[in-house]
Amino acid sequence: MAQYSRISGSVGLITLSNPPVNALSAAVRQGIVDTVEKALGDPQVKSVVICGQDGIFCGGADIKEFGKNMSGPPLIPMIHTIECATKPMVAAIEGSALGGGLELALGCHYRIAHSKARLGLPEVTLGLLPAAGGSQRLPRLIGVPAALDLITTGRHVTAAEALQLGIVDQVTDHATVDAAVKFALSVAGKPLDTRRISTYPCPHVSDVDALCENVMQKVRKSAHGAIAPIACVQAVRAAATLPYTQGMEREKELMATLYTSGQARALQYSFFAQRAVSKWRIPSGARWDTSTPRPLHKVAVIGLGTMGRGITVALAQAGLPVITVETHEKQLMEAKRAVSDMLNRGAKRRGVAPPLDKISYSCNLQDLADVDLVIEAVFEDMTLKKKVFRQLSAVCKPGTLLCTNTSGLDVDQLASQSRNPELVVGMHFFAPAHVMKLLEVVYGPQSSPQAVATAMQLGKKMGKVSVAVGNCRGFVGNRMLKLYTEQASFLLEEGATPDLVDQAIEEFGFPMGVFKVSDLSGLDVGWRIRKEEKLAGLSVASGQSTRIREGRRYSPLADLLCEQGRFGQKTGRGWYQYDKPGGRVARSDPWLHHFLEEYRAQHGLVARHIDHQEVLERCLYAMINEGFRILEDGIAAGPEDIDVIYVFGYGWPRHRGGPMFYSGMVGLEKVLERLEHYYQAHPDVPHLQPCRLLRRLVARGSPPVHKWREVIKNLHSQL
């Protein structure tokens, strides 16, 4: 797990070896302890280089070991021994030096990095802090403000930035280990007193309390209830105000609280869930490791509305040649200006040239004859989309993949319009498509493994977290969201206000409450869909009760607001009021409160007191129940898929893992009991009825989330 050799006569070379990222497992730590002892005890060795096998220095502590009984030598004394060594210790950093990996490097006396290496202390993203001395050494090395930035955000820096900050001593474009060995030879025998970071005084900051308070406030605002970023500020403050040994005590204390927290468990689950979803498998048996994606030389986007523009930008930024199509020259030119602006802004931010030359613009579908993949992003209208699919089928060369960007329309119906339904998949992007990380790749019963693999790989190339999901109304994300927003409206009918509901949801950790999101995205979007579904508008059957549709409770509140022209931010009025159309700051609206009172009076509803707990239980448990149904139906392969969709696409707080993980944290028995309670109180809301899988899991003793797949498999085999 750590190999030792002597090279160039007098350099001891220690190579960490634990693929794929050389994580510091118990065996690796033992290996380091043993090999360091060997190197230090070898009289021929005058200096030591530590490197990692296969082009990566070290991805940090082995996250899989967290939460298990600790075995093997601990990191802190191991790093301390390295720092105290009387022979120069040099870290040769290739690939990544992250978390415990960077802390190990900070214990060395010198750090040489390859120009492509990335360094960082991302512990905060796992609900932890750099507790192997990182929170105490980094501020001593690079100063408190820079250390606060790196440690509270967990961001990775390039080798160039690391050099500028003073984290590394040298950057090389050549073989890193060779450069480090050369360097080690040059410093052999030199005094090391000035190279032990733990002995450095923390660089002076004029008002450290004010600085930390300022950062603390920022962190509190952006953390949405996450505790690790706050502990990170406290740990760095300790480095700035206490001697090293006391600072280390503080680091340990803070880590003890975080290490066993539910948030750390949720964030670590989320880390692995994000990786698990890339290993997709679908009911046909096709899977990620047996399906070969098609090479994509040229792709196309049809429809340059908001979504089409964002998708085009993301494709061009991923380096793919794109041809875009709009119906009229005027719209095409407008879109071209908007897309170019977006690319220019993005390039400026990233300090690169804008990939404007990757995109060509056309009003002629015939220009798509030679593309390998098309993303149709026209208006969300089945008739129009079907027409476009028929046209594409006629124009495109055989083998072209046809993808539809829809947020919920039936992908199979569209596939039936194509000559090759096996080459059709849904690609559900989230607005703004060049920013949002999530992509739902929707497969139908006929989708070929190659089509799914290609869409998944394209998503990855575009920097998305892609999740393969089955075809059903709303797919995974919007199908669950419907239940969440529906409960929120019911709560208004029963006595809540948008302010109260949103406050509960924001305190839970969502960046925005349900009604604020609705105002932001526009109430008219859902209204149009409900009118098409004959749930709202003139097509509702006469004599139909306002509050019942298809035998179930229905809330017409959003429809009534739309009828008043209250579409949200764009009209300056919605669930809230804004200072002007397009205004962003939501203010409570007395008109709305009065409107709700009148509505209740008209329908004989008596407002009752509703507290935050009920808001959360009704909105979140209804959504979770639907998540279980989705698993039952086989639309998502596992709870991780649902959780990743919610964290990356719907603002679910990452430190709560995702809705399905959260249900396990709350306790499945409790979720079941509350759903039963609410279903009894609202028998006209069938979605509150606990589903079979939830009952089955509770009957099986509520196994942890990673064991659910087993129960789901058994359930499917009995169907």
Ligand X SMILES: CC/C=C\CC(=O)SCCNC(=O)CCNC(=O)[C@H](O)C(C)(C)COP(=O)(O)OP(=O)(O)OC[C@H]1O[C@@H](n2cnc3c(N)ncnc32)[C@H](O)[C@@H]1OP(=O)(O)O
Q: Give whichever of 59 and 556 is closer to ligand X, judged by the CB atom.
A: 59
CB-closest chain residue to ligand X: 99
**Which is the catalytic residue, given 83, 94, 103, 626?**
103
Query: In the bound complex, what is the minimum distance in angstroms from residue 230's beta carbon to ligand X?
Result: 18
Q: Cβ closer to ligand X: 62 or 380?
A: 62
Q: Give residues in contact with ligand X (CB under 6 A).
A: 20-21, 23, 59-64, 75, 96, 98-100, 122-123, 126, 128, 131-132, 272, 275
| Burial 124-153, CB ≥16 within 10 A → b, else e | bbbbbbbbbbbbbbbbbbbbbebbbebbbb
Q: Which is nearer to ligand X, 134 or 649 (CB)?
A: 134
Please report how close the Cβ of residue 412 comes to ligand X at its closest, in angstroms.
31
* CA distances to 311, 433, 436, 527, 584 from 462, in Å: 9, 10, 11, 32, 29
| Active-site residue flag, 123 | yes
Phi, psi (rounded to 5 degrees) for 81: -60, -40
Residues sharing a CB contact under 8 Å with residue 386, sequence separation 6 or more, in sequence order: 413, 414, 417
Which residue among 65, 83, 94, 123 is the active-site one?
123
> Which residues neighbour 411 within 8 Å (Cβ) at sequence distance 6 or greater?
404, 424, 425, 426, 442, 443, 444, 471
| Minimum distance of ligand X from residue 661's CB (angstroms) | 17
Closer residue to ligand X (CB): 289 or 550:
289
Strand segments (E) across 326-417:
359-362, 373-376, 401-404
| Nearest distance from C-beta of residue 259 to ligand X, angstroms | 8
Residues 6+ apart with CB under 8 A from 279: 287, 288, 289
Three-class DSSP labels, 475-506: CCHHHHHHHHHHHHHHHHHHCCCHHHHHHHHH
Select 121 or 219, whichever has its Cβ closest to ligand X.
Answer: 121
Q: Which is nearer to ligand X, 59 or 658 (CB)?
A: 59
Relative orientation angle of helices 498-508 and 514-521, to the nearest 10 degrees: 110
* Whether the bond into 191 is cis, omega within 30 of 0: no
Whether residue 550 lies in the annotated active site: no
For residue 425, the minimal CB distance to ligand X (Å) is: 23
To the nearest whole angstrom, how small is the minimum distance from the Cβ of residue 238 to ligand X? Answer: 16
| Closer residue to ligand X, CB minimum distance, 123 or 493 | 123
Closest CA to 78 of 55, 58, 53: 58
Question: Six-digit token pair at 100?
Answer: 């415990």
Distance separating alpha carbons of residues 670 and 693, to the nearest angstrom: 15
DSSP classification of residue 545: -
Sign of the four-CA dihedral 253, 256, 262, 268: positive
Q: How far is the CB of 250 from ligand X (least distance, A)?
A: 14
CA nearest to 55, candidates 32, 22, 91 = 22
Residues 254 and 719: their CA atoms lie apart, in Å, by: 49
The residue type found at 695 is R
The catalytic residue positions are 103, 123
